[in-house]
């Protein structure tokens, strides 16, 4: 794996060249995975314009760059606990990690990003390496250094470019139960219209993941696969934007440690995630371009 210093628009960047994928990260912008190229395609949603729309601690997430793949931690939707050890401390919109610069270290063919929370006793570390199979692996280590359990969630905010005749693929059956978060009730549609229709919707599968993967299969059969441990990354959200948001045309795969966009909403549904005191949450996410012949939900 080759790591090269570069720029993305007007921001400092680090480019990781693997066997099948090239990934570009922004160390001064949350360690964001801003570009992912493979098989001649830019796989992640890109914003137009030469200047990167920076996200700051108190700025509006959706008015910033809002593209690519941000790590959502410790929440997606903002909320302020009303009781418990973190009462009165607001979990910021789309999380805290994506709003700050992170420490960066390259050693032994790996790239490591570390963020020390400004609000909570938490350290967030992700380490990027290349798997022997050729995929790009991201190992997460989220440490709670405090003396109280920390309610939270991690979610991949993986905004993918939508392509004609491409399909979302998951291990869920076509009639698997879902919970709609917003938008119209197109609960199990796997394809996107050929042109944007001005609609946008998001849903979560209410059951835990039957297996630890999801993906986006292109018309030629190549599939961007996301693989992870279903014991830790237990749930999957899907957001489909057919032009209603910023005139963009994208889908987002959001594997997560807890569903429904807020730790308290997950807890109310019996799906809570928390990091025990003086403990860590660890898991691996692997990105790869694979040839996938078919799945049970086609």
Mapped onto helix, strand or coil, the DSSP state of residue 196 is coil
297 within some domain: no
Q: What is the pLDDT of residue 222?
A: 94
Contact 199, 80 (CB under 8 A): no
DSSP character string of 79-148 = B--SSSTTTTPPBPTT-SGGGS--EEEEETTEEEEEEE-SSSSEEEEEEEEE-TTS-EEEEEEEEE-SSS
Q: What is the pLDDT of residues 210-243, one digit of tens each?
A: 999 999 999 999 999 999 999 999 999 999 888 8
* Tally of domains within the chain: 1
Is residue 95 within 8 Å of residue 76, measured between CB atoms? yes
Work out the angle at residue 98's Cα, subtended by the Cα atoms of residues 76 and 93, and round it to the nearest 5 degrees: 35
Cα–Cα distance measured from residue 194 to residue 3, given in angstroms and rounded to the nearest whole number: 37
Say what the pLDDT of residue 118 is: 93
CB atoms within 10 A of CB 219: 10
CA distance linking residue 141 with residue 280, whole number of Å? 6
Strands 32-38 and 11-17: unpaired
Residue 187 lies in a domain: yes
Residue 43 within any structural domain of the chain: yes
The list of the chain residues with pLDDT below 70 reads: 184-198, 292-298
pLDDT at 248: 84
Whether residue 296 lies inside any domain: the answer is no
The whole-number pLDDT of residue 194 equals 46
Phi and psi at residue 268, in whole multiples of 5°?
-65, -25
C-beta of residue 130 within 8 angstroms of C-beta of residue 108 = no
Report the alpha-carbon distance of residue 98 to residue 90 in Å, rounded: 15
- Residue 84 structural domain: 2-291
Give pLDDT, residue 192.
Answer: 52
What is the distance between the alpha carbons of residues 190 and 175, in angstroms, rounded to a whole number? 12
Domain CATH code at residue 65: 2.70.98.10
Distance separating alpha carbons of residues 47 and 111, to the nearest angstrom: 25
């Amino acid at each position: 794996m080759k790591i090269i210093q570069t720029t993305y628009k007007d921001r400092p960047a680090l480019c990781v060249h693997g066997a099948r994928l090239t990934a570009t990260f922004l160390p001064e912008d949350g360690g964001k995975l801003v570009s992912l190229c493979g098989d001649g395609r830019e796989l992640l949603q890109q914003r137009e314009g030469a200047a990167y729309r920076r996200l700051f601690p108190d700025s509006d997430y959706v008015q910033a760059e809002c593209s690519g793949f941000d790590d959502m931690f410790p929440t997606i939707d903002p909320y302020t606990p009303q009781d418990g050890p973190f009462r009165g401390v607001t979990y910021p919109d789309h999380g805290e990690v994506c709003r700050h610069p992170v420490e960066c270290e390259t050693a032994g063919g790996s790239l490591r990003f570390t963020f020390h929370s400004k609000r909570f006793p938490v350290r967030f570390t992700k380490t990027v390496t290349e798997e022997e199979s050729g995929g790009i692996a991201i190992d997460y280590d989220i440490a709670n250094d405090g003396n109280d359990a920390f309610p939270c969630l991690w979610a991949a905010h993986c905004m993918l470019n939508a392509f004609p005749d491409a399909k979302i693929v998951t291990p869920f059956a076509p009639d698997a139960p879902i919970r709609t978060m917003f938008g119209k009730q197109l609960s199990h549609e796997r394809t996107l219209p050929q042109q944007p229709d001005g609609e946008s919707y998001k849903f979560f599968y209410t059951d835990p993941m039957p297996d630890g993967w999801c993906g986006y299969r292109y018309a030629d059969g190549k599939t961007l696969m996301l693989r992870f441990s279903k014991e830790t990354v237990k749930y999957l959200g899907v957001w489909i934007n057919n032009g209603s948001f910023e005139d963009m045309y994208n889908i987002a795969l959001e594997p997560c440690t807890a569903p429904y966009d807020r730790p308290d909403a997950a807890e109310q549904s019996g799906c809570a995630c928390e990091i025990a005191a003086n403990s860590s949450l660890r898991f691996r996410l692997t990105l790869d371009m694979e040839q996938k012949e078919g799945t049970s939900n086609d």
